Structure 1
Amino acid sequence: MRRVRRSAAGCAVTALLVAVVVAPAPADASLPWGPQVTLTESALGGVHGTSPDATVRNVLAVTAAGDNLRVRLSNPSGTALTVRAASVGLQATAGSPALERRSARPATFGYRRGVTIAPGASVWSDPVRLRVKAGDHVAVSVYAPGAPVGDHDFPPPETHTPGSFLSSGPGDATGDESGGAFGTFRPGTLWWVDAVSATSLARGTIVALGDSITDGYGAVGGGPRWTDVLAGRLEAQPPHRRLSVANAGISGNTVSVQPNPYDPTNQCCGPPAPQRLDRDVLSLPGVTYVFLLEGTNDIGGGQYAPPAPAEQVIGAMREIAARVHRAGKKIVGATVLPMCNAAGSDREATRLRVNEWIRTSRTFDAVVDFDAVLRDPKDPTVMYEPWRNDCYHPNAAGDRILGNSIPLEVFGLPGYGRN
């Protein structure tokens, strides 16, 4: 479920005097400038190479309106990450590195322009005075030459595409609004930036915790990911009912703690879901609901890990749900999609057992039966062909079906069901 990767060339740089972040505290949803929710997310998969002497302009679409933006930079592992400068602005037009005129704002961290982030740590910027509406593309530019590249890299969906631009020359280009310092768009590649939050009238955030089906792999044929479809439906609700959506999908991720099936270094696909739950879900501002869609990679197995038994997958889901509940949040479970496993095979038996447990165990606050939505009525071991990209992934039409199939009642919106 993961098609892996390349890395950036590196160079050494002279260290600056900056604030050192050893163990930053989680963001608080009730900060002095108002309640914060998470507007977008790009859960980091691992560390790949070293940053050249260049500026990276990351572009992410937000799913709700807000102001007092804060961005989170993370350093998943490796060595210390020294950021010399960062900025936040609004992308002028899709596919362009240019920013809207006078939208660029320097990002500071404890009122300093530079920050050093310890391995495994994250840091939130101070609030940036910038107002956004749902669907805006926020550009977060980071200059961190010689730093380990903690990134999110995946074959991107065709719309609402996250990605980045790399400057063509050395030096700090974080303040360049014209975009002239930057090269072409690299869809699906983000460095260091893993969340954007804001003061918002939205009443909370849904975090979609998942693998490549949530990440957007295979959403081809013209259309957004299922999480983007869901976000659009929520944005159409009355203002006091709206929720933002944060996509914490990582291609190749597993729901249980095990060696990754696709990469023996465990750097391709993020830590297993229980190990990244705090970083990618519980530490985010304003989280009220978690939507769990995982298990395909565990059940399918790969070159570096055998298929997992049902007990392992169920145990991991039970642990995640318990931790979410202890944190005072609700969790919605989704059934595992068909995987082209032959009827009667061990893998298909495992998938069916896991799905029956999801439907009947009452572990989750609500269940959405994605399996029933996309399976072929003539052969329930496969997805319906017009909605399938490959054996594991829906295409864009399938993603739209999934996003529209979710009853909004599962998020406390009575009377607002499927589209």
Structure 2
Amino acid sequence: MKWKTTWSYLSVDYGVTIGSLENVTQRTSFWNNINGDKIRVKFTNLYGKQPIKIKEAVIAQKKSDSEDSYHWTHLTVNNAQEIVILPGQVFYSDIAELEICAGKELVISAYFEEKVEINSSCCTWSKESWHTDYISGRDYTSGKEHICENAQQTKQSYEVFPFIDQYMLQADVLVGISEISVLTDAEVKIITLFGDSITHMSFYADALAEMLYDKYPGKVAVLNKGIGGNKMLTDASYIPDIPGNGQVSGLAAIKRFEKDVYESETPEFVFLLEGVNDLMHPYVLNDLESLPKKEDLISAYIALASIAHKHGSQIYFSTILPFKHETSPSCPEGETMRSEINEWIRNQEIADGVFDFASTTAKNFAYMKDELHIGDGLHPNKAGGVVMAQTVLYNGGLMNGINTN
């Protein structure tokens, strides 16, 4: 029996209060592809400035697809139903007995009674593999109400948190929770996606998870370790025009990789997709002196591969996607460097495989296909995510590599 993570995202630090929760139930549904009979949840207040008090929390899963009957149990910490997470704290819940079946969504409902200002959360734009609703007015965790679909005063994340509505394209957020793991006797392979916003937005991650979960029920889990705006070599760029000044983009990939990928467990596969922000931000922020050298970026790829291999993981490099667009500043040196780095990625023998996203998403060398991005030429949309997932499974040859028979 081993603990295997069925869902995990990074809690990001906005550097500013994004909104508050008071007398509201946070209800989040998650895809699950692991079978087991014990479960635990990781609670987090890593970047918070106030204690987070969850008056009551329950976790549930449907008994069958044909009815609205649920298995459910309380989540507790030290046998207490009220969970207090102090600023900087991260810890697991008590182990809960619950029959967990692959292919059925998990639902966690958490009631925030006392007002708390929120400075960090997990977030997704795809809203496929997980999705959050906020139900105001009282505690909706007790009894069957924790899964009620018609509760009054249901709101989306962007309606609760002004920062999300204004600066994050109406992303979904999840407060206080960053991981769900299941105790299982099955052989489950873990795939960790590590990257920037292209990974973090989850269109690619969710498309890949859907394809793999359909192909390998109960055998694989896809974890997302992306951070929007993240760079390979340097920490978050200072952006004076937004609240938090861009702090949300986090530490450089070269600094955060080992902790973020290996803190909870060792994945069999790591998919690395980084570098575009190192090439674009110097132009977007009019700071050309910060444009890195090609050799430094290549050295970072090599260093991350060395860390992955030290832990026994296979690591796959991804070519940097096209980013030229009429709404973006011209990046001539950055574009040249992208071409040179991608050619190195295609031909190097350090990684265990390569996903050539640059080729499969491009309408010509420098531009992404119009139908594959959200309108900025940089971030893949749902259709773009599907193309990337297909690249992983078929062009990249992963389907044979993950064979669990």
What's the TM-score once normalised by structure 2's chain length?
0.77
| Residue 392 in structure 1 maps to residue 378 in structure 2 | yes
Q: Is the 8 A contact 1:37 1:202 kept in 2?
A: no
Equivalent residue number for residue 355 of structure 1 = 342
Shift of 1:153: 3.7
Counterparts of 1:226-245 in structure 2, within 5 Å, are: 226-237=204-215, 242-245=219-222
Equivalent residue number for residue 143 of structure 1 = 112
| Residue 321 in structure 1 maps to residue 299 in structure 2 | no
Counterparts of 1:18-417 in structure 2, within 5 Å, are: 34-47=1-14, 48-49=16-17, 51-67=20-36, 68-79=38-49, 81-90=51-60, 101-130=69-98, 131-134=100-103, 136-143=105-112, 145-147=114-116, 149=118, 150-154=120-124, 156-157=125-126, 160=128, 162-169=130-137, 172-175=139-142, 177-178=144-145, 179=148, 180=151, 183-186=154-157, 188-200=172-184, 201-216=186-201, 225-237=203-215, 242-260=219-237, 262=239, 265-285=245-265, 287-301=267-281, 302-303=284-285, 306=288, 308-309=291-292, 310-340=294-324, 345-376=332-363, 379-389=364-374, 390-407=376-393, 411=398, 413-414=400-401
Shift of 1:400: 0.9
Which has the larger share of helix? 2
Distance 2:88 2:346 in 1: 35
Shift of 1:126: 2.1
In structure 2, do the counterparts of structure 1 residues 298 and 52 end up closer, same or farther at CA, with 3 Å as the change threshold? same
Shift of 1:147: 4.3
Structure 1 stretch 247-256 or stretch 83-92: which is displaced more? 83-92
What's the TM-score once normalised by structure 1's chain length?
0.75
Would you say how many aligned residue pairs link Structure 1 and Structure 2?
364
Question: Structure 2: any 5+ residue segments left out of the alignment?
Answer: 158-170
Residues 167-218 of structure 1 deviation map (CA, whole Å, 9 limit, x = unaligned): 4236x5443632437622336121121121112425221111122212237x
Structure 1 stretch 332-341 or stretch 360-369: which is displaced more? 360-369
In structure 2, do the counterparts of structure 1 residues 278 and 66 end up closer, same or farther at CA, with 3 Å as the change threshold? farther
Structure 1 stretch 117-126 or stretch 191-200: which is displaced more? 117-126
Q: Is the 8 A contact 2:204 2:389 kept in 1?
A: yes
Shift of 1:411: 4.8
Residues 256-287 of structure 1 deviation map (CA, whole Å, 9 limit, x = unaligned): 23332646644333433334334532123452
Shift of 1:91: 7.2
| Percent identity (aligned) | 23
Distance 1:297 1:144 in 2: 40
Shift of 1:58: 4.1
Shift of 1:346: 0.5
In structure 2, do the counterparts of structure 1 residues 53 and 387 end up closer, same or farther at CA, with 3 Å as the change threshold? closer
Q: Is the 8 A contact 2:268 2:314 kept in 1?
A: yes
Shift of 1:412: 7.7
Shift of 1:292: 1.1
Shift of 1:381: 0.3
Q: Is the 8 A contact 2:195 2:274 kept in 1?
A: yes
Partner SS for 1:290:
strand
Equivalent residue number for residue 168 of structure 2 = none
Question: AA paired with 1:290?
Answer: V
